[in-house]
Amino acid sequence: MKMLFNGEWVDLPEKRVIRNPQDGSEIDTVPLAGADVMKSAIDYAVEGFERSRKMPTHQRISILQKAADLIQERHEEFSQTLAKEGIKTISEARKEVTRCIETIRISAEESRRIVGKTIPFDQMPGSENRFGYYIRMPIGIIGAITPFNDPLNLVAHKVGPAIASGNAIIVKPHSHTPLSALLLAEVIHEAGIPPAILQVITGRGSIIGDVLVTDPRVRMISFTGGRGTGEDIMKRVGLKKIGMELGSNSPVIVMDDCDMKLAVESSVSGAFWAAGQNCLHAQRIIIHDSIYDEFSKLFIAATKAYKVGDKLDESTDMGPIVNDEEATRVENMVKEAIDKGATLLTGGKRKGTFYDPTVLENIPDTCSLASDEVYGPVCTFHRFKTLDEAIDIANSVDFGLQSAIFTNDLKTAIYASHELQCGGVMVNDSTDYRIDAMPFGGIKGSGLGREGIEFAVHEMTEPKVVCFNL
């Protein structure tokens, strides 16, 4: 595929081969842009912003609505592309495409809701003759750096709000999964977006990503990815707005009064959706001592029934890890935990990029699996006797994206919701529950700012005060 550069589809002599992580087969190629191309893209984005900031609201709405309709018409094509280049099964991919359509539709709706407010200047003595208001203005060029695990919808979560709020945006998609981002750009281009308001530049992050991050004309960096990369960006970004979603080590608390069937089914899904390569992955399952054995038995049985295999097989529950390097990293994290005394309850086997759904207990605090994000199909069991003990376990890591609690007691749910240190608490749902309209983001090492269309639009705009001395 070609990349979208200043309103044109451009190819380059140097290519990157995009491979299916399942078997290494070639899917397509994309241009491998250099620093000079990214610099030129920013040059054009300056012109693109002059167009976007003057674009009437009805035009933004029309473009986004038409783009959503075009994705709907090509739903299966998008799903197949997403499943082939990434780590999701075809069933998971179809759900992501459906969410992407919703994300773009919500973005169109939010275009008409960017409003200001009158200010009573006469509250200050001497300002009796003054009248005014504030409006929200687009900030300029947005640099978006996106991950491989949701290669379509997480791009839409940056592109949709940027267009809705009158900004220009340059997307640098993950090197392993650029095709879904390019398909999204294709439909938005077909929907009538003017040149250079949206550009998708493919290449090595260390080269083109560095230009995007450090150029002072780029007024905001919206990054979703690993904490290490996020911290590196923070050191180099300069004086501009930052939005970062950096993952988590999400806890699920299972109380003794829970709906057992719901808790097991939801937690298994949360642990192994997208082979655990999910920022909301249910990594730590914290179970009341009185139901620990029963929950463990049911959970492990459901885990062993999970079908791992061909992503395009309709009956497959879980696909591969993104590449051999990441699969080896997950394998080593599990091995370290076992070597330090953890008990393997099921799984723990790797074949190429496939890693079996894995459950461990008795996790020592000294192993990386206890405190870091595993980003793979691995979860750990922990016992507790009191709710405060469970909350202490949940809050013990330097992450705070989303947490979950299963209970039928309202007082328990409310208390836990206030005490858990995170950006969202799911009651009687897994940590990986999310709708695209809600504020989404975390605290501590999980990032800065919030996504979710309304909240991303707020991040991508600034208030401007207008005051009249009458």
The whole-angstrom distance between residue 126's C-alpha and the CA centroid of its chain comes to 49
How high is the pLDDT of residue 330? Answer: 98
Read off the tokens for 260: 């057992």
| DSSP code at position 273 | G
| β-strand partners of 406 | 254
How high is the pLDDT of residue 143? Answer: 98
Tell me if the domain spanning 250-427 has CATH number 3.40.309.10: yes
pLDDT tens digits, one per residue of 458-467: 999 999 999 9
| β-strand partners of 448 | 244
How high is the pLDDT of residue 326? Answer: 97
How far is 452 from 436, CA to CA, in rounded Å? 5
Q: To the nearest 10°, the Cα dihedral for 416, 420, 425, 428? A: -40
Catalytic residue among 96, 110, 245, 373: 245
pTM: 0.95
How far is 31 from 27, CA to CA, in rounded Å? 14
Average pLDDT for the chain: 97
Among candidates 399, 452, 403, which has minimal Cα distance to 424?
Answer: 403
**pLDDT band for position 306 (cuts 50, 70, 90):** very high
Catalytic residue among 100, 258, 279, 422: 279
Q: Is 279 a catalytic residue?
A: yes
| DSSP code at position 354 | E
How far is 182 from 175, CA to CA, in rounded Å? 12
Q: How many CA atoms lie within 13 A of 375 on its CB side?
A: 21
**pLDDT band for position 237 (cuts 50, 70, 90):** very high
User: Where does 3-247+444-469 sit in CATH, by number?
Assistant: 3.40.605.10
pLDDT tens digits, one per residue of 410-459: 999 999 999 999 999 999 999 999 999 999 999 999 999 999 999 999 99
Strands 130-138 and 117-119, by their bridges, are antiparallel
- Domain residues of the chain, as ranges? 3-247+444-469, 250-427
Residue pair 249/446 in contact by the 8 Å Cβ criterion: no
**pLDDT band for position 383 (cuts 50, 70, 90):** very high
How high is the pLDDT of residue 412? Answer: 98
**pLDDT band for position 216 (cuts 50, 70, 90):** very high
Read off the tokens for 436: 């695209």
Place of tokens 């699969």: 327
pLDDT tens digits, one per residue of 47-91: 999 999 999 999 999 999 999 999 999 999 999 999 999 999 999
